[in-house]
């Protein structure tokens, strides 16, 4: 018996990654350098040499930061004073790609540490920075697309209070659900997961998700009934899902449920 299978699609959106606070510490460069050069602390002076690649020392920003971090953690007040701007300049360069390849993931980790170390400025913008990073991961703007990662990052941004992330998350979930259902955009087909993800998007009041969810449930019920597309065969669950799709307005689910009931009745008579 042939069941009605409906194609699930999602409207494509053009995402534009907004770089958050790029070069936020640039205005501090001169003051920071003067502080490094005039500081009596041997650790800070050595850090300056590595940070700027001077006095016969090869430039190594990570080593400079590591030295300052270790000294600050051991209580060196001079190191504590210059650690945050040192981190900030490094993070800014990672975002802009000024001193090498752009690396948003590394910038995220640096900004996270800055936030944890008490930078008020970073704590204020970090949630939206994460939201923009998630946006880029989802749309692939200047970085490799990673939809599951984008959703993970977006959830963190939401937890930190980003309104921007709250707006992004339902759209990300809806797109992910559609791609899971169809096995598209580099996403492996997984109907069980597609239903769970789409349901969450619906609960977050995403309008596109509300439109495709009845169709997705209709298809999922057929998969459950037939044991198809990687879904374990489960007739009672298929009937339950069919009824949910019907309640949400799926006419195809009505036809499918009737066919299921007829088949079940015929099998009982055999």
Which residues have a Cβ under 8 Å from the Cβ of 265 and sit 6 or more positions away?
none
The model's confidence at residue 270, banded by pLDDT at 50, 70 and 90, is low
The encoded tokens of residue 246 equal 């019907």
Which residues have a Cβ under 8 Å from the Cβ of 81 and sit 6 or more positions away?
35
Residue 81 is predicted with a pLDDT of 79
Kindly report, residue by residue over 214-234, the tens digit of the pLDDT: 999 999 999 999 999 999 999
Most confident residue range from 2-11, 55-64, 74-83, 128-137: 128-137
Kindly report, residue by residue over 11-49, the tens digit of the pLDDT: 222 222 223 333 443 444 444 444 444 444 677 778 888
Kindly report, residue by residue over 106-130, the tens digit of the pLDDT: 889 988 988 888 888 888 989 999 9
How far, CA to CA in Å, does 222 sit from each of 12, 219, 237? 27, 5, 10
Q: What interhelical angle do 77-96 and 61-73 show, nearest 10?
A: 150
Query: Tell me, what DSSP letter sits at residue 180?
Result: H
């Amino acid at each position: 018996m042939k069941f009605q299978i409906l194609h699930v699609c999602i409207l494509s959106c053009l995402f534009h990654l907004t770089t958050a606070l790029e070069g936020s510490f640039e205005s501090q460069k001169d003051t920071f350098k003067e502080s490094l050069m005039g500081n009596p602390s041997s650790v800070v002076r050595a850090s300056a040499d590595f940070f700027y690649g001077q006095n016969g020392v090869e430039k190594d920003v990570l080593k400079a930061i590591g030295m300052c971090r270790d000294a600050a953690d051991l209580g060196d007040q001079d190191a504590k004073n210059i650690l945050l701007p040192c981190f900030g300049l490094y993070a800014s360069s990672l975002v802009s790609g000024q001193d090498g390849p752009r690396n948003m993931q590394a910038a995220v980790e640096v900004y996270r540490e800055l936030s944890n170390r008490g930078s008020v400025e970073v704590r204020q913008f970090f949630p939206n920075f994460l939201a923009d990073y998630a946006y880029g991961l989802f749309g692939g703007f200047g970085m490799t697309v990673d939809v599951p990662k984008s959703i993970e990052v977006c959830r963190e941004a939401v937890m930190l209070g980003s309104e921007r992330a709250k707006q992004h998350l339902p759209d990300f979930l809806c797109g992910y659900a559609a791609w899971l259902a169809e096995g598209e955009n580099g996403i492996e087909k997984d109907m069980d997961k597609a239903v769970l993800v789409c349901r969450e998007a619906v609960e977050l009041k995403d309008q596109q998700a509300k439109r495709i969810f009845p169709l997705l449930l209709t298809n999922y019920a057929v998969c459950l009934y037939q044991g198809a597309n990687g879904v374990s065969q489960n007739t009672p669950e298929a009937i339950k899902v069919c009824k949910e799709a019907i309640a949400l307005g799926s006419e195809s689910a009505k036809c499918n449920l009737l066919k299921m009931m007829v088949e079940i009745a015929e099998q009982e008579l055999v």
